[in-house]
Amino acid sequence: MVLLSLLAADVPGAAVVAGGDYDVRRVVQDSRQAMPGDLFVAVRGLRVDGHDFACRAAALGAALALERPLPLPPGTAWVRLADGRPALGHLAAALHGRPARRLPIVGVTGTAGKSTATHMTAHVLASAGVPAGYLSTLEACAGAVAVDNRSGQSTMEATEVQTWLARMRERGDRAAVLEVTSHALVQDRVSACDFDVVAYTNIGIDHLDYHGTPEAYRQAKARLIHLCATAPAKGTPKTVVLNRDDASFAMLAELPVERRITYGIDHPVDVRAVDVCDRSFRLTTAEGCAPVRLAMTGRHNVANALCAAGACVALGVPLERVAAGLSTFPGLRGRLEAVCHGQPFRVYIDFAHSAVALECVLRELRRGGGRLFSVFGATARADHDRPGMGRAAARHADHFVITTDDPVTEDPADLARQVESGAAGGRYEVILDRRAAIRRALALAGPGDTVLLAGKGHERTMQLAAGREPWDERAEAVAGLAELGYGDAPPAG
Nearest-Å Rg of the Cα atoms of the chain is: 24
Q: How far is CA 297 from CA 129, 144, 376, in A?
A: 26, 26, 20
The CA distance from 37 to 26, in Å, is 7
Q: How many CB atoms lie within 10 A of CB 174?
A: 17
Coil, strand or helix: which one is 290?
A: strand
The CA distance from 116 to 114, in Å, is 6
> Model-level pTM greater than 0.85?
yes
The CA distance from 283 to 432, in Å, is 44
The CA distance from 283 to 322, in Å, is 9
Q: What domains are there in the chain, each with its CATH number?
A: 2-84 (3.40.1390.10), 99-328 (3.40.1190.10), 337-483 (3.90.190.20)
Q: Are 172 and 166 in contact (CB under 8 A)?
A: no
Per-residue pLDDT of the chain (493 residues; tens, 9 = 90+): 899 999 999 998 999 999 999 999 999 999 999 999 999 999 988 788 999 999 999 999 999 999 999 999 999 999 999 999 999 999 999 999 999 999 999 999 998 889 999 999 999 999 999 999 999 999 999 999 999 988 888 899 999 999 999 999 999 999 999 999 988 999 999 999 999 999 999 987 666 566 678 889 899 999 999 999 999 999 999 999 999 999 999 999 999 999 999 999 999 999 999 999 989 999 999 999 999 999 998 889 999 999 999 999 999 999 999 999 999 999 998 988 999 999 999 999 999 888 888 998 999 899 888 999 999 999 987 667 899 999 999 999 999 999 999 999 999 999 999 999 999 999 999 999 999 999 999 999 999 999 999 999 989 999 999 999 999 999 999 999 999 999 854 444 4
The CA distance from 474 to 347, in Å, is 10
DSSP H or E stretch at residue 118: helix 114-127
